[in-house]
Chain A
Amino acid sequence: MDIVVIVLTVIALLFFFATTVGLLRFPDFYSRMHAAGKGDTLSSLVILLALVLYNFHEINLANLLVAMKILLIAVFIFMASPTATHAIIDAGYESGIKPWAKNPEEESP
Chain B
Amino acid sequence: MRYIYTFLIMFGFWILLSGKFDLFHLTLGVISSGLVSLISADLFMYDPQSRNHLTTGVRFLLYLPWLLFQIVLSTLHVTFLALHPKMKEQIDPTIVTFKTNLKTDIAKVALANSITLTPGTITIRVEDQVFYVHAISRKAAAGLPGEMEERLAKVFESD
Task: Give chain A's interface residues, CB within 8 Å of chain B.
Answer: 14-15, 18-19, 21-22, 25-28, 30-31, 33-35, 37-39, 41-43, 45, 62, 65, 68-69, 72, 79, 82-83, 85-86, 89-90, 93, 99-102, 108-109
State whether A100 and B93 are in contact (beta carbons under 8 Å apart), knowing that A34-B120, A93-B125 are contacts in the complex: yes
Let me know if B95 and A99 touch, CB within 8 A. yes
State whether A19 and B82 are in contact (beta carbons under 8 Å apart), knowing that A65-B16, A68-B16, A86-B122 are contacts in the complex: yes
Let me know if A34 and B122 touch, CB within 8 A. yes
Which residues of B are found within 8 Å of A89, using beta-carbon distances? 122-124, 134
Any chain A CB within 8 A of the CB of B79?
yes
Any chain A CB within 8 A of the CB of B92?
yes
25 contacts between A and B (CB under 8 A): A22-B81, A26-B91, A28-B93, A30-B93, A33-B134, A34-B120, A38-B74, A38-B75, A38-B116, A41-B117, A42-B74, A42-B75, A45-B71, A82-B112, A82-B113, A82-B116, A82-B123, A85-B116, A86-B122, A89-B134, A90-B125, A100-B93, A101-B92, A102-B91, A109-B94
Let me know if B78 and A18 touch, CB within 8 A. yes
Which residues of B are found within 8 Å of A14, using beta-carbon distances? 79
Let me know if B117 and A38 touch, CB within 8 A. yes
C-alpha gap A38/B114 in the complex (Å):
11
Any chain A CB within 8 A of the CB of B4?
no
Known: A21-B83, A33-B122, A101-B92. 18 other contacts (CB 8 A): A18-B78, A22-B79, A26-B87, A27-B88, A28-B93, A31-B91, A34-B120, A38-B78, A39-B79, A79-B113, A82-B123, A85-B116, A85-B122, A89-B122, A89-B134, A93-B125, A100-B93, A109-B94
State whether A35 and B93 are in contact (beta carbons under 8 Å apart), knowing that A86-B116, A89-B124 are contacts in the complex: no
C-alpha gap A25/B136 in the complex (Å):
14
Which residues of A are found within 8 Å of B122, using beta-carbon distances? 30, 33-34, 37, 85-86, 89
Task: Give chain B's interface residues, CB within 8 Å of chain A.
Answer: 16-17, 19, 71-72, 74-75, 78-79, 81-83, 87-88, 91-95, 97, 112-113, 116-117, 120, 122-125, 132, 134, 136
Which residue of B is nearest A71, CB measured?
A: B16
